[in-house]
Structure 1
Amino acid sequence: MSGKMVRAFALIVIGLWSSTGLANAAMRIPNGCTPGVFLTISGKIGKTTNSAANAYEMSEREFLGLPQSTVTTSTAWTPNSDFAGPLLSKVLSEVDAKGTKLRLIALDNFSVEVDADYLEKYGTILAVSKNGVRLTIRDFGPVFVMFPRDSFKEQLDTPAAASYLVWQLCGIEVE
């Protein structure tokens, strides 16, 4: 293959790649999340690490250092599995959260508002592993909001409750 053909092919591939938006995907961080931060918690909180943004920017190390809990359940997207991570209530108490509503924000810019008491009532965790394997962005991670759906079928096996199982969680706004 000649040098001109190789360059032409490379330009075509680069053009296709950038036109699909993949080139910028890693650079687009939703409002409520912070680049390079494992989990951003903002809003009505009493403890901050970034006072200008009124946010607590929690590192992965700090997050993983919190006491871990396990929820065994299935979802519409996963078979019965053991999910592990800190309790949502523990994460919120770490930042002295004072609000009653939460906006859960994912890397893909999905967000949903939910009553904090509703999630805490069922022992919701912020899962970082499934069956002992760390979650990745390709597999619901790095953080997947999880509650024991199978243990409370009537309350939690609903379309509304399913919308609270946010994967790729990167931010929580406390309102």
Structure 2
Amino acid sequence: MKITTCLLRLLRVAVLALGASAASAEEVLLTLTGAVRDGQVTIARADLDAMEWREIATSTTVTDGQPLFRGVLMRDILAHAGAEGETVTAQALNDYVIDIPVRDFHDFDVIAALYMDGAALTPRDKGPVWIVYPRDDHGVLADIRYDMRWVWQLSALHVQ
């Protein structure tokens, strides 16, 4: 009985510690570098909450049906950071890196999604931030060139 009680206490401490580290990890969701205000801008959840949110229902190459994504327009994030450039190098938590023309964010309502079907995205399910294109709204977006730009677990943007 004492061992069970001791294990439960240790488990509670571990859960509290994990919760504390998850909360601090959520403070900064994105870091923008390069041709941005002061050379570096961090985006926290509060910054995104202050922006206009959008929803996109669209198919993807990695999900079933047409999930409903909710987030902030990528062009609004770039404007918030004072970005001036033609290309964004997007980097994910898993070190995936790809160059995306900034023009994409003006030609299409591309969002930085934080929710899919009402559930917050986590690193286990492509979050906390996933670049989502309105694939079903524009035939041209059903192309592998665009599919590769759907960066999940987005952590950083370098503007050039």
Q: CA RMSD in A?
A: 1.7
1:94 aligns with 2:80: yes
Match of 1:71 among 56, 71, 90: 56
8 Å Cα contact 2:104-2:110 kept in structure 1: no
Describe the SS at the equivalent of 1:38: strand
Structure 1 residues 150, 35: CA separation in 2 closer, same or farther (over 3 Å shift)?
closer
SS in 2 for 1:93: helix
Separation in 1, partners of 2:137, 2:109: 11
1:69/1:42 CA distance change after superposition, 3 Å: same
Q: Which amino acid aligns with 1:41?
A: L
| 1:35 positional shift | 10
Give how far 1:36 is off: 6.4
2:48 aligned with 1:57? no
Q: Which amino acid aligns with 1:139?
A: D
Distance 2:117 2:50 in 1: 19
Q: TM-score, normalised by structure 2?
A: 0.79
CA distance in 2: counterparts of 1:36 and 1:110, whole angstroms: 22
SS at match of 1:128: strand
- Following TM superposition, by how much is the alpha carbon of 1:131 offset from its aligned partner in structure 2, in angstroms? 1.1
Q: Compute the displacement of 1:119 (Å).
A: 3.0
The residue identity in structure 1 corresponding to 2:35 is: K
Between structure 1 and structure 2, the one with the greater Rg is 1
Q: Aligned residues: percent identity?
A: 26
Q: C-alpha deviations, 1:72-109, integer Å up to 9, x for none?
A: 10101012111010100110000111101110110000
Could you give the per-residue CA deviations for residues 102-158 of structure 1, whole angstroms, max 9, x where no partner exists?
1011000001001101232111000000111100111110000001101112x1111
State the distance in 1 between where 2:95 and 2:123 align. Answer: 14
Query: Aligned partner of 2:155: which letter?
Result: C
Q: Structure 2: how far apart are the matches of 1:64 and 1:144?
A: 16
Return structure 1 stretches of 4+ with deviation > 3 angstroms.
none
Identify the residue that residue 85 of structure 1 maps to in structure 2. 71
Question: Which deviates further from its counterpart, 68-77 or 36-45?
Answer: 36-45
